Amino acid sequence: MTGFAHEAPGPPGTGAVVPLLVVAVAAGGYVVLAVRARPWNAWRGTAFLAGCAVLAIALAPGLSPYPAGDFRGHMLEHLLVGMVAPTCLALGAPMSLALRNVPVRRRRLAAAVLRSRGVRVLTHPATVLTLTVGGLVALYATPLAVFVDDHPAVHHLVHVHFLVSGYLFAWLVAGPDPAPHRPGVRARLVLLGVAIAAHSVLSQLMYTGVLGGTDVPVAELRGAATLMYYGGDLAELALAVALVATWRPLRRRSDATFPT
């Protein structure tokens, strides 16, 4: 069997320069806006910067505990980019922070966009679930993983997909940012439960070798499946805790409000 390249081809570290710069700019921009928006919730700021740190760790070359080309390293990278980092970023409420730093006219425009039909479709639980779980199935149950490994540009696009879909999922389930179309708590708990079940089934199928999308040594395949199983559960448990912690039964309509 052949190994699964954790790094895109090319000189060591070259493929990570641009993504790391983007992460640094996002972190720096958040800090600037937080200073301008004083007072700003310190826990939210800590969550967002922690998400940026997790992204940097996942994308920086040489920081993986696994050897280059190890499939377990690829899975760890996916967990950090697609689940842990998006949850932290969403809990940082970057949209609310940005809206506090723009004129009222632009806040009204943002409100109109969030209430639009397109955003309603994009943030519908079925759409978000399809993006998150469907992306995993497409990557690990088809030859897409090998194709991504051979094409650095596609490799970056897959990272973007996992980050965006993971962020949408976390924002919909427990994000403190405005979400006019966010369903009730029960529906969000069901959505989270379905996602947990889907990750569990996919990881068990991977462990048994039923999925045919990857061709790696058995030890690496089972190690990656174990990471997906337990790591995914921990990330989603953290999201469930965030949902319970931020639930305000008497202020259900606050999801649709905007910072003043």
Length of the chain measured in residues: 260
At residue 156, the pLDDT reads 85
Quick one: pLDDT at residue 45? 96
Where does residue 12 rank: exposed (0-12), middle (13-18), buried (19+ CB within 10 A)?
A: exposed
**Residues of the chain where predicted confidence (pLDDT) is lower than 50:** 1-3, 5-12, 250-256, 260
Model confidence pLDDT, tens digit, residues 142-178: 777 777 777 778 888 889 999 999 999 999 999 999 8
Say what the pLDDT of residue 257 is: 53
Contact status, residue 99 vs residue 107, Cβ threshold 8 Å:
yes
Contact 196, 236 (CB under 8 A): yes
Whether 155 and 161 have beta carbons less than 8 Å apart is answered as no
Write down the pLDDT at residue 188: 92
Say how far residue 50 (Cα) sits from the centre of its chain.
13
Token pair, residue 3, equals 């190994």
The pLDDT assigned to 172 comes to: 94
Hey, what are 55's tokens?
A: 């992204």
The label of the residue with tokens 């790094």 reads 7
Q: Chain-centre distance of CA 40, in angstroms?
A: 23
Per residue in 76-96, pLDDT (tens digit) is 999 999 999 999 999 999 999
Cβ–Cβ < 8 Å for 152, 166:
no
Identity at 117, one-letter amino acid code: R
Pairwise CA distance, residues 212 & 201, whole Å: 15
State residue 232's pLDDT score.
87
Cis check: omega of the bond before 39, within 30 degrees of 0:
yes
Tokens of 106: 């632009």
Tokens 């899975």 label which residue? 75
pLDDT at 249: 57
